[in-house]
């Protein structure tokens, strides 16, 4: 895959999830409107109309995760799209959270001798983590809270989203 | 519920998409002698490395049963790969 930064091309990107940066952008736009009003470039009525229009645009922009029906998430999704040489490079992964929950049980199956050796290597590498203290319950708690996790990365030529649905 | 259908699709540049649907249950039945041998080997390895065999089997079965719904769909340049489990 080509490096994401190698194509500084701006293009419209469809956003499957909500966008915290949009709220920031809206606040900036509102400031711009107020700035124009303060400068006397637009009238009070025009400023009001613009702000109302911005407020109308916001719910549509932020509708997705914010309006996602509350309940237990079932899947971890990774969605990525970057503009490649010709066609766009795309990645769309859906992993059932149940699979992650089952997977963390594997941690309990690692033989103690292997954990001790891994601990020694970690200490030697400057990462003093005691893997023998890692319990499947801890990892399960981590998976349980994954459904509130949203990672969004927006770049000029694409985006990356990690979220649960 | 264990997986019923595995779909694998590959598209290479200048070629059309090739999609293969594999019914899991008949394939598992077909490969059952090999799977039985693998199971015995796993039990022996568990004893050698002091791993709780029953727990390992239970975890393995839970992982297999959690697989339906998994989907991996990637396209880089003009090559695309799709793996979906239902």
Q: Nearest to residue A159, comparing CAs of A52, A78, A97, A86?
A: A78
Q: Do A56 and A63 contact (CB within 8 A), yes or no?
A: no
Average pLDDT (A159-163) is: 92
Number of domains in chain B: 1
Chain A residues with CB inside 8 Å of B68's CB? Answer: 96
More confident residue, B49 or A67: B49
Given a cut of 90, is residue A7 above it in pLDDT? no
The reply to whether A106 and A128 lie within a common domain is: yes
More confident residue, B9 or A84: B9
Quote the domain boundaries for residue A57.
Answer: 16-67
Q: pLDDT tens digits, residue range B54-67?
A: 888 899 999 999 99
Q: Say what the ipTM of the complex is.
A: 0.84
The reply to whether A77 and A148 lie within a common domain is: yes
Number of domains in chain A: 2
Quote the domain boundaries for residue B42.
Answer: 5-85
Highest mean pLDDT among A9-18, A111-120, B23-32 belongs to: B23-32
- What is the SS3 string spanning chain A? CCCHHHCCCCCCCCCCCCCHHHHHHHHHHHHHHHHHHHHCCCCHHHHHHHHHHHHHHHHHHHCCCCCCCCCCCCEEEEEEEECCCCCCEEEEEEEEHHHHHHHHHHHHHCCHHHHHHHHHHHHHCCCCCCHHHCCHHHHHHHHHHHHHCCEEEEECCEEEEEEEC
Given a cut of 60, is residue A54 above it in pLDDT? yes
Given a cut of 60, is residue A58 above it in pLDDT? no
Query: Where does a domain end: A67, A84, A104?
Result: A67
Residue A84: which of B51, B52, B76 has the nearest Cβ?
B76
Token pair 């693998």 is at which residue?
B38
Residue A86: which of B59, B66, B77 has the nearest Cβ?
B77
Tell me whether residues B77 and A95 touch, CB distance under 8 A. Answer: no
More confident residue, B71 or A35: B71
Average pLDDT (A28-39) is: 77
Query: Where does a domain end: A7, A40, A67?
Result: A67
Neighbours of B6 (CB within 10 A): 18
The reply to whether A125 and A100 lie within a common domain is: yes
Rounded to whole angstroms, the Cα distance separating A20 from A64 reads 12
Q: pLDDT tens digits, residue range B20-51?
A: 999 999 999 999 999 999 999 999 988 888 88
Given a cut of 90, is residue B78 above it in pLDDT? no
């Amino acid at each position: 895959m080509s490096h994401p930064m190698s194509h500084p091309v701006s293009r419209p990107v469809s956003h499957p999830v909500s966008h915290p940066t949009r709220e920031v952008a809206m606040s900036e736009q509102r400031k711009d409107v107020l700035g124009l009003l303060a400068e006397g470039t637009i009238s009070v009525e025009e400023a009001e109309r613009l702000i109302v229009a911005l407020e109308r645009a916001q719910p549509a922009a932020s509708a997705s995760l914010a309006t996602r029906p509350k309940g237990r998430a079932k899947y971890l999704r990774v969605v990525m799209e970057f503009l490649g040489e010709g066609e766009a490079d795309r990645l769309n992964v859906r992993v059932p959270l149940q699979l992650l929950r089952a997977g963390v049980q594997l941690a309990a199956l690692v033989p103690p001798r292997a954990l001790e050796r891994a601990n020694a290597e970690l200490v030697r590498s400057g990462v003093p983590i005691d893997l023998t203290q890692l319990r499947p319950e801890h990892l399960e708690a981590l998976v349980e809270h994954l459904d509130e996790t949203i990672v969004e990365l927006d770049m000029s030529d694409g985006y990356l989203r990690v979220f649960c649905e | 519920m264990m997986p019923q259908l595995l779909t694998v699709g590959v598209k290479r540049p200048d070629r059309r998409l090739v999609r293969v649907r594999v019914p899991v249950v008949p394939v598992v039945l077909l490969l059952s002698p090999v799977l039985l041998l693998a199971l015995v080997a796993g039990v022996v390895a568990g004893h050698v490395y002091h791993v709780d065999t029953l727990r390992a089997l239970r975890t393995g079965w839970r992982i297999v049963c959690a697989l339906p719904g998994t989907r991996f769909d990637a396209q880089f340049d003009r090559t695309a790969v799709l793996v979906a489990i239902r």
